C-alpha cells in the first residue's frame, strides 16, 4: 500500500526522482536535488540520511504507485483476458503518470551499487524486492487462470509469460519522453495499444 507521506517528504521524493532521471542515478547529488527543490541539503537529510537511502525510497515508491493502482482492478471474478487488459491499461497509465520514478528504477539496474550500503538502504532494498514480487504475483495469477480456462495458450512456465508481459508494459520507459505539448489522445493510444498487445501475446 502507498505510504502516506508529509508534503515535505513527498516533494523531496518528487525532486529526487526528477534529478535521478535527468542527471542519472550515479551523477545526481544531494546538492542537485536541493537546488531543484530551492531548498537546503539539511531539509533532505532530515528525512533521508544518505543519497542511497533516498534512491532506494524513490524505487520503493515507484513499486507502490503501480501496486496501489493495479491491485484494485485485479478482479478474479472476471474473464482473465478482460482482467489482464484492464490491469495492463492501469499499469501503463500509472507508469506514464509517475514516469520519473519508474525511469529511476530502470536506470538503477545499470547503476553502480554502493559497496557498503547502510542498514537503512539494505532494509529499503529488501522491501522493494518483496513488493516487486507481490506485484508480479498479481499478473501471474491472472495469466495462470487464463491458461487454465483456455483464454491464453498453455505454456510450460507461466512465469516466463508474466515477466514478458511486464517487460512489454514497461516499454515506454525506454522511449517515452515528458513533453509539455503531449496530447492526452497520444497517451491514450499508447495505453490501449500496449494493453491490446499484452493480451494478444498470450492467445
Give the CATH number for residue 70: 1.10.357.10
In a domain, 151, yes or no: yes
Sequence length of the chain is 203
pLDDT of residue 181: 78
86 burial class (0-12, 13-18, 19+ CB within 10 angstroms)? Answer: middle
- pLDDT of the residue at 115: 58
Q: How many CB atoms lie within 10 A of CB 202?
A: 21
Question: Is the pTM here over 0.85, yes or no?
Answer: yes
The rounded percent of the chain whose pLDDT value lies above 70 is: 95
73 falls within a domain: yes
Instruction: Give the chain's residues under pLDDT 70.
Output: 1-3, 110-115
The pLDDT score that the predictor gives to residue 16 is: 97
Three-state secondary structure of the chain = CCCCCCHHHHHHHHHHHHHHHHHCCCCCCHHHHHHHHCCCHHHHHHHCCCHHHHHHHHHHHHHHHHHHHHHHHCCCCCCHHHHHHHHHHHHHHHHHHCHHHHHHHHHHCCCCCCCCCCHHHHHHHHHHHHHHHHHHHHHHHHHHHHHHHCCCCCCCCHHHHHHHHHHHHCCHHHHCCCCCCCCHHHHHHHHHHHHHHHHHCCC
Q: Is residue 1 part of a domain?
A: no
Residue 66 located in a structural domain? yes
Whether 2 maps to a domain, the answer reads no
**Dihedral-angle region of residue 79 (phi above 0 means left; psi in -120 to 50 means alpha; beta otherwise):** beta
Q: Over the stretch 84-140, which tens digit does the pLDDT of each residue have? A: 999 999 999 999 999 999 999 998 776 655 557 778 888 888 898 999 999 999 999
Domain count, the chain: 1
Q: Is residue 72 part of a domain?
A: yes
Provide the pLDDT for residue 37. 93
The reported pLDDT for the residue numbered 162 is 97
What confidence score (pLDDT) does residue 183 get?
A: 81
pLDDT, residue 7, reads 86
pLDDT at 19: 96
Residue 122 confidence (pLDDT)? 83
Residue 104, domain extent: 7-200
What is the predicted pLDDT for the residue at 111? 61
Amino acid 6: pLDDT: 81
Which pLDDT belongs to residue 70?
A: 98
Collect all residues with Cβ–Cβ distance below 8 Å to 18 and sequence separation of at least 6. Answer: 36, 100
Amino acid at each position: 500500500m502507498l505510504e502516506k507521506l508529509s508534503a515535505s517528504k513527498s516533494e523531496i521524493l518528487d525532486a529526487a526522482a526528477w534529478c535521478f532521471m535527468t542527471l542519472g542515478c550515479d551523477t545526481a547529488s544531494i546538492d542537485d536535488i536541493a537546488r531543484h527543490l530551492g531548498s537546503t541539503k539539511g531539509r533532505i537529510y532530515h528525512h533521508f540520511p544518505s543519497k542511497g537511502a533516498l534512491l532506494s525510497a524513490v524505487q520503493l515508491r515507484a513499486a507502490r504507485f503501480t501496486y496501489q493502482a493495479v491491485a484494485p482492478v485485479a478482479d478474479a471474478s472476471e474473464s482473465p483476458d478482460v482482467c489482464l487488459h484492464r490491469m495492463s491499461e492501469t499499469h501503463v497509465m500509472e507508469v506514464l503518470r509517475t514516469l520519473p520514478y519508474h525511469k529511476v528504477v530502470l536506470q538503477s539496474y545499470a547503476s553502480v551499487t554502493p559497496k557498503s550500503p547502510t542498514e537503512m538502504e539494505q532494509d529499503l532494498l529488501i522491501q522493494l524486492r518483496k513488493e516487486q514480487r507481490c506485484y508480479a504475483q498479481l499478473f501471474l495469477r491472472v495469466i495462470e487462470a487464463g491458461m487454465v480456462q483456455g483464454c491464453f495458450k498453455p505454456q510450460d512456465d507461466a512465469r516466463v509469460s508474466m515477466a514478458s508481459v511486464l517487460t512489454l508494459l514497461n516499454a515506454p520507459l525506454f522511449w517515452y519522453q515528458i513533453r509539455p505539448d503531449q496530447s492526452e489522445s497520444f497517451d491514450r493510444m499508447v495505453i490501449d495499444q500496449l494493453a491490446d498487445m499484452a493480451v494478444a501475446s498470450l492467445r
